[in-house]
Amino acid sequence: MPHDVIETYLAELETRLPAALRNGSAVVAEVAGSLNDAVEDNITNGMSRAEAEHAAIEEFGSPAEVAGEFAPVAAAAQVHRYGLRFLVTGPLIGFLWLTTAALSSADGLLPTTELLLVVLTLVIVTAAGSAGFSVLATGHSAHWVPAKITSALGAVTITARCVVIGDLVLLTLLALHVTTAPGAVAALPATAATLASITRIALAVHGARSLRSTSLSLR
């Protein structure tokens, strides 16, 4: 079977490519094309097909080495995806909570509310800043914002943690308000905002776990 060596190589590469690399099969197809070109070149230079295939693979590097080189590429793509998700969902969920606040009565608000609002503001500013940095450092503007992939990864992890804290603060504020003045809360936007925040907490927790495993793969 003339192509066994190449096919075995490609199959191993596919299993070793980082899971965060969404276009893994496209990468394998690209590498396959390159190996075939190298094999043809080697045959033209006088090698037998078997020799040409072995030489092409030798020159390419082991699947583990190639997959390892793709780890930072996959990490950057993953950081970019999460950063964008947080940047897009932030204003949408913020709008739902602001609508809830605007349509609800302020009667019965506790003094602790002010402290929670200060915490919330700090969390939002930190989350937006770190998400913005992670997106800029991993996208098309990366050459303007030179940063190590580990820094971008750390930034988006901070965003994920801030998002969880921020949503928990908002849900706590709502719970306090509902408890002290049950009729003062606008039910419809409050329900929508609650569902959106719970969904985002789930996304952030999943994201933080996934980013942690990516971070370990870069070491």
Partner 1 sequence: MRAERLKGHLDALLLAVLADGPRHGYGVIVALREGSGGRFDLPKGTIYPALHRLEQAGLVRGTWSGETGRQRRTYELTTDGLRQLRAERASWQEFSTGMMALLENRPCPTT
Contacts of 130 (CB under 8 A, 6+ apart): 155, 156, 158, 159, 162
Asked whether the beta carbons of 108 and 177 are under 8 A apart, the reply is yes
d(CA 183, CA 178): 7
Q: Give CA–CA dist 178/185, Å, rounded.
A: 7
CA dist., res. 140 & res. 175, Å (int): 42
Nearer Cβ to partner 1, position 73 or 110? Answer: 73
Least distance (Å) between residue 124 CB and partner 1 = 28
Q: Which stretch, 26-34, 105-113, 151-159, 196-204, contacts partner 1 (CB under 8 A)? A: 26-34
Nearer to partner 1, 80 or 177 (CB): 80
Nearest approach, Cβ of residue 82 and partner 1 (Å) = 15
Listed ranges 73-81, 116-124, 127-135, 154-162: which one lies at the site for partner 1 (CB under 8 A): 73-81
Decide whether 72 or 132 has the Cβ nearer to partner 1: 72
Q: How many CB atoms lie within 10 A of CB 216?
A: 8
Q: Does 77 bind partner 1 (CB under 8 A)?
A: yes
140 vs 219 by CB, closer to partner 1: 140
* Site track 39-68 with partner 1 (rule: CB under 8 A), x = hit: --------------------xxxx--xx--
* Total Cβ atoms within 10 A of residue 38: 19
**Alpha-carbon gap, residue 203 to 86, rounded angstroms:** 9
Which is closer to partner 1, CB of 72 or CB of 94? 72
The CA-to-CA distance between both ends of the chain, in Å, stands at 39
Place of tokens 């098309």: 140
7 binds partner 1 (CB under 8 A): no
Number of residues that bind partner 1 (CB under 8 A): 29
- Token readout for 11 is 């199959």
Binding footprint of partner 1 on the chain (CB under 8 A): 26-27, 29-31, 33-34, 36-38, 59-62, 65-66, 69-70, 72-73, 76-77, 80, 138-143
